[in-house]
Structure 1
Amino acid sequence: MNLFAYGTLMFPEIWERVVGDEFRAAPATVRGMAVYRAAGQLFPVMVASESTECAAGIVVFDLSPRVFETLDAYESDFYERIELHVELDDGRMLAAQTYLLPDRLRDVASDERWTAEWFRREALERYLRQNGW
């Protein structure tokens, strides 16, 4: 199975600590989703949005069920793991699992967009320290 990662798991510093293995990955987007900062937190949440919006991230290819068990534990029951279709940079579409904020927790999403650039510049080191890494 493939994973669409749009947040902290896009960063090798975090991926390696969570999963402990390297996998092939490529940039990708998913339509109809938006990524926001979780209120009062450094990490993001992805929610269904306008069909014209796109969430940017990466697809990590060919993960085993064991890796998904590890990822499920990292993401906790805070998110729902769902399957969606993502678009690679070359235009190909493929199925991938992702972690979506359930509608019942929609108020957890702040109004502030979360970007990988902001996270790397402003929050990565703090996030690593908060998690004891």
Structure 2
Amino acid sequence: MHIFTYGSLMFAEIWQHVVRGDYRSAPATASGYARYALADDTYPGMIASPQAAVEGVLYFDVDAQDVAALDAFEGSEYRREPIAVVVNSGEIAIACTYIFTVEQRLSGLPWEPQSFQMSRFIGSYCSDKLGG
């Protein structure tokens, strides 16, 4: 299954903490969705928003074991569901992504990848994956 990522998992350092496989990836865009910063946290949530679009990374042919690891990583506040994305080559792909389900936790401010606090996120959410 293809997986569209739009937050922390867009970054290879985080992706590789979660999955075991080596997957081809490409930039892609999900139209009809918006990405917001969470109040008091480092990662975003994506929700349906008809006039918006979210740029992210599409990982191709992710195996079932790694999809299960991604489900566990995302936790109960996200729901995996299929969406259409446009790869930068112009190809349309169906991919699963993680839609945020607790909209009251969204800050209402856009989440900007260039402002992502990688070291804070790794220390908070990936430290158990380091070294083992």
Matched, 1:78 2:66: no
Q: Name the SS for the 1:91 alignment partner.
A: coil
Matches within 5 A, 1:59-98: 59-98=58-97
Q: Which residue of 1 aligns with 2:118?
A: 124
Q: Which amino acid aligns with 1:112?
A: L
- What secondary structure does 1:85 align onto? strand
Cα deviation per residue 1:40-62 (whole Å; 9 max; x = unaligned)? 1001100111x231101010000
Unaligned runs of 5+ in 1: none
Which structure 2 residues correspond to residues 1-133 of structure 1 after superposition, within 5 A? 1-49=1-49, 51-102=50-101, 105-119=102-116, 123-131=117-125, 132=127, 133=130
The TM-score normalised by the length of structure 2 is 0.91
Please state how far the C-alpha of 1:22 moved relative to its aligned partner.
2.3
Specify which structure has the higher proportion of strand: 2
- Which of the pair is proportionally richer in helix? 1
Q: Distance in 1 between matches of 2:55 and 2:86?
A: 10
Name the CA distance, whole Å, in 1 between partners of 2:38 and 2:98: 14
Deviating above 3 A after TM superposition, structure 1's stretches of 4 or more consecutive aligned residues are none
Aligned letter for 1:11? Answer: F
> Identity percentage over the alignment?
34
- TM-align CA RMSD: 1.1
**Post-superposition CA distance 1:49-92 (Å, at most 9, x none):** 1x231101010000111111000000011101000000011211
Distance 2:124 2:65 in 1: 25
- Give 1:21 shift: 3.0
**Alignment size in residue pairs:** 127
